[in-house]
Homo-oligomer: A and B are copies of this chain.
Amino acid sequence: MARPAASAERNDAQSESRRKYDPEQTKRNILEVATAEFSAMGLAGARVDAIAERTNTTKRMLYYYFGSKEGLYEAVLDKVYGDIRALELDLHIDELDPTDGLRRLVEFTFDYHDRHRDFVRLVTIENIHGAKYIERLKTFRSRNASAIRTIEDLLARGVASGAFRDDIDPIDLHLLISSMCFHRVGNRHTFGAAFGRDPSHPRLRARHREMVVDATLRFVKK
A44 to B172, CA, bound (A): 33
Main secondary structure of the interface of A (DSSP, over half): helix
- Shortest CB-to-CB span from A145 to chain B, Å, is 8
When the two chains form their complex, are residues B124 and A128 in contact, meaning their CB atoms are under 8 A apart? yes
Q: Which of A146-200 contact B (CB under 8 A)?
A: 148, 169, 171-172, 175-176, 178-180, 182-184, 186-197, 199
Q: 0/1 per residue, A194-222, Cβ < 8 Å to B?
A: 11110100000001100100110011000
Asked whether A126 lies within 8 Å of B215 as measured between CB atoms, the reply is no
State the A residues within 8 Å of B (CB): 41-45, 121, 123-131, 134-135, 140-141, 144, 148, 169, 171-172, 175-176, 178-180, 182-184, 186-197, 199, 207-208, 211, 214-215, 218-219
